[in-house]
Structure formats: C-alpha cells, structure tokens
Amino acid sequence: MKIKIYTTGGTIDKVYFDRKSDYQVGDPQAHGVLARANVVLEYEVESIIRKDSLDFTDEDRELIRKRIESSPSERIVITHGTDTMIRTAKVLEGISGKTIVMTGSMYPAQFRDSDAVFNIGCAVTAAQILEPGVYIAMNGRIFNPRNARKNVELNIFEEIE
C-alpha cells in the first residue's frame, strides 16, 4: 500500500529566515519527519503549493483538487495550514475511491516541541485504515470536516456540537 503525501505549505513547513527576521514557508518537512521516524511505508512526498493557507485563493484550492483527483494513489495525506484546512477539505469532498487525510501543525516542524511529528503519525495511520472520504487529523483526533472547526482562541480543532 503506497501513500502519497502532498504538501501545500502552512505553519508546519515554516522556517526562519534571519535576514528578513521573518518566518516563511520553506521546504516540505514531511519527508524529514518520516525519515527520522524510520517508517517502512512506501510513500512519496510531492509539493503542490508553498503558502500560508490564509493566502490560498479559489484557484489554489482547485489546483489541489485536480492534483488529488488525478493522483494514482488511493491513500493520501495532505499537509496544510490550519487556518483554512477545513475550507480546503470541503473543496475535496466527493472525490471517489480515495482516503484523504489532512493534517498540519500549530508550531513549525523545526521547533523543539512542535506537534508536527505526532500529527503526521496520526495522519499516515488514518490514511491507511479509513474508508474513502475526507478527514482532518489534528490534536490526536480524526474529524469529519463537516463537523469540525479550528478554535482560534484555544488553538485546537474541535467538533461543532
């Protein structure tokens, strides 16, 4: 079972550029995370977009959908900024025959105490097990994007009751 990991930027891939004294979206971190975890999965990492997800346009989301639709893989993880992850998830609904798990992180993967490694572990596992559909793997849980939101105050994902 081969897993395809598409990266689209977001906090998880943010690095620090001292010359600009700023964070910017850098190289995808997923490959390094999986290599350090010593996984024996067959997987490929492919970058679609490198942006803060607050800056995503409708065209960006269409591009992501097209790339997923035409992907040869049925087991897909997408790393994505958390601010509009749910919005993109809804654009991906209705793609048949594919298990699509979106994840990201609240802190850049390069931080000592980032949630990125844990979240990618969750997403890769969910992608292997779950039925076709679109899911959010954040904060240790698997959410249906129709019933989830990012609670910006608490900096967590939660179910809409």
Site for a copy of itself contains 124 (CB under 8 A) = yes
Site size toward a copy of itself, by CB under 8 A = 51
- Taking alpha carbons only, the member of 144, 143, 137 closest to residue 121 is 137
Site for a copy of itself contains 29 (CB under 8 A) = no
Distance CA(123)–CA(49), nearest Å, equals 19
Task: Print the binding letters for residues 70-99 with a copy of itself: x by CB under 8 A, - otherwise.
Answer: -----------xxx----------------
Distance CA(136)–CA(84), nearest Å, equals 12
Site for a copy of itself contains 145 (CB under 8 A) = no
DSSP state letters, 1-67: -EEEEEEEESGGGEEEEGGGTEEEE-S-SHHHHHHHTT---EEEEEEEEEE-GGG--HHHHHHHHHH
Name which position in 89, 91, 137, 148 contacts a copy of itself (CB under 8 A). 137
The site for a copy of itself (CB under 8 A) is made up of 11, 14, 16, 18-19, 21-23, 33-34, 36-41, 52, 54, 81-83, 106-108, 110-113, 115, 117-122, 124-126, 128-130, 137, 139-142, 152, 155-158
